[in-house]
Structure 1
Amino acid sequence: MRRVLLALIACCCLLPAAFVRAADDDLAAVERAIAEKKLSWQAGPAYLDPKDFQARLGINGLLNEDPPAPLPIPPVDLPEQFDWRNANGVTDVRNQGPCGSCWAFASIAALESAAVIQGGLPNTIDYSEQYLVSDCYPQYGCGGSYSIWQPIVFLVTNGTVDEECMPYQAQDGPCDLCPDADQHLVGLADRGAVEREVDALKQAVYQRGPVAVTMNVYEDFNYYTSGVYAYAEGAYLGGHAVLVVGYDDNEECFVVKNSWGPGWGEDGFFRISYGEVHGRTRFGSEAEYVFFDTGSYPAGMTPAIDNFRLLDKEGQPFAAPYQVTRDQSITMLFTFDYTDVDGNLEAGVLYATLDGAVYQLGPLWNMEKTGTLGFAFGMLMTDGAHSGSFYVEDTAGNRSNQLPFAFEVVQAEESDDDTADDDATDDDTVGGTDDDASDDDTGGADDDQLGDTPTPEPDESDGDDDDDDHGCA
């Protein structure tokens, strides 16, 4: 028994050394292939244990059901380089762990970028991949998926929750949501497929945002450290799903977000040659862009408004009491400052209350996270005191604080303004009283300011034409 035990210990002690030698041999083989093929990437020691590496490849062969047909995107002129990271349109790199959940991470990464770029949310948001891996999505799990378009369609119809509501476990499990999960739901409004062509992928990334794609993975990919990856050597291990966030025509490559943590590759990202679209990796075999559902912003994020200014229609401070003639509408111009750190006032609603009634003044457009909003509000007003307020509501249904205002309407007396022919008893008619301001005399008293009659008037009977008002005959 002792000899057997010692023999077992000796074998166990030798295994790690054997693995190290095998890994060193594999690395050397990859480096030779890179040099022979004159490829533009650098290899280093394997980042993951071979078993862990293969467990992360969660795209399993070909799906029996055909994916949706690609939706052509009208082409536009593209810059030579584009990277959504430079526009803060990419969230942090996640780590899927030893679980074949890359399909969930690529799908959620696309949703997060859409929420940031299209929805104006901060790029610190973190949505739950576990929601897809768990029984909440009763299709796949750590065993892998057969596509990325199916989980993305699920996000369109059902959405997901944020990471706080359902943290990642790197394993299958029940649909164990937080108690107030309905307050944490977010989702997609729609999705579209992209043709597996370099130009089509570039157009989609530039015009639609980061694109979730699938690719074949070979043994050499575990040794990638930097540069523009292209297949060097090694056996096929499985399918993988990632997120394309940019491209570079000078390097002829796509910029890609992986889900193996920030310590892998180029800070969690890698670049891959355009040639791999139709090469061994079949990069972009499936490619999906998404549209964020702006009606699914998480609750509990309330905008604030302040620094209210109420102006009249001339843009002057609104005076109280405010005098108007009867049946004259009051036009109020108002501005206020707003702060909305969550960025979801875009397509929100502006409301006004007046004397107990609520008015919806329309949707809000071109809203930033901070700024000044101006609006005009006009209506017929009765005599007396009036009060109201303004507030905004974001797309998650969160209402801001209310900014109150008050004013009084006093009807002015209905008398002639003595400046024009503007009422039925105007003084500028025959027999009326002249307004003494215009050359409109038709037989009444002269205005004594202008030479506006061709014949002497009654007040000139003494022979002195007083139109000159200088005492000259």
Structure 2
Amino acid sequence: MKLKLKYKWICRLLSVCVLSVALTGCAVPWPALDIQQTEESAETRKETEPESEELPSVPRTEETEKTTQARVNAAAVPSRYDYREHGRCPAAGSQGELGTCWAFATMIALESSLLPQESFDFSEDHISLQNSFGMSQDMGGDYTMSMAYLLAWQGPVLEEDDPYGDGESPDGLEPVKHVQEIQLLDNKDYAGIKQAVYFHGGVQTSLFTALEDESSQSEYYNEDTYSYYYTGNQISNHDIVIVGWDDSYSRENFNQDPGMDGAFLCMNSWGTEFGDGGLFYVSYADTNIGIHSLAYTGIAPPDNYENIYQADLCGWLGQLGYGDEEAYFANVYRARSDERIEAAGFYATGADTEYEVYVLRGAPENGKLVLNESVASGRFEQAGYYTVDLKRPVDVKSGERFAMAVRIRTPEAVHPVAIEYQDDSSEIMTYVDLSDGEGYISADGRNWANTEKEQDSNICLKAYTSAR
């Protein structure tokens, strides 16, 4: 039986934070592009999202609604919460005239996730200059870039080692933390956002604003009450971080009546001169707040694992599959020394994703992978990136080829496997390196297709090891 292998570009844009230049490669619609057919796929295409005023999001199903409600019932949060009152609010920073709100939002969210136990000032310069996308700081960015940078262990580094605004970033800086888990929250899941803020850290999200800096004015922003409410159909263009909420925040505080009380407390990246020391309120009824949101839920010390094996430095840029909610995917690596494989890292591209992890020693050169008993299994409630510890670590010798493989099942998905892929027409995907990986995908776990050779893509699947 011939299988249909499909691409799907994802662009869950958190922001294109620019003053006058839009970020190329992160707006929909995209033109469809046919690529060469392979023996495995009679009808291989890169698929795109349809025209829409809103960007694509993780689909909600009846089951995800039930699990979300169960999560709310299991751990209720207060009707009002403010990071400033609990020692969890980082210092406000200023992006200046550069399009780096996405970088500031990422670092603010990270810093807040560690407070109050640990206090860090992470470098926005480093994430915006030392990522794998090769883009300048005035070109904007999005959260897929943040995820790729952090999950590749390219950062974060300290602000004192790479100060912001000088246009320079030293090479060779080592991360001071390892980010091992990032959860993507459901569209407008306010209960989930509050849970993440309360139990984990600031939630990175976005809104549309005509404001350009701390001195700007807008009909949607009330300077006296530091409150913002936008009700139009423009998509997000600016990243912020939710650091609290107030269910009783009066609707009368906004320039236009949102029709309901309640607002999120958010931190901006325009310094302390904006809002209330850098913070402001955004109405629950705002068009864009909470459509695309993520929380950094797994931040570890830099010695948690010694080595990382990966081929996806640009991270989750698309999805691959066989028109079915289940697929197998694998990456083959060569051990750099005598090591112990301790964990796998990969994306759940939708909610309630089930998985099984396999490790194959002595992986053959011909790509004919034979999977035996799984070494880990489970289910992810939210979409996102997860690190899975193996219940039985696997030892490999220096120079030995090994395969990390995963069977994944994502309800209602047709292309559940996260990939990075090369597209020279897109600035965000021009720098994808296909020479650093040996990835495979399969519908049944027996017949495998090489994704670099046949699909111009790398599989997003990492292996974590320690010396032995």
Q: Same fold by TM-score, threshold 0.5 exceeded?
A: no
TM interval, short-chain normalised: 0.3 to 0.5
Larger relative helix fraction: 1
**Larger % of strand: which?**
2
Question: TM-score w.r.t. structure 2 length?
Answer: 0.44
**Structure-1-length-normalised TM-score:** 0.44
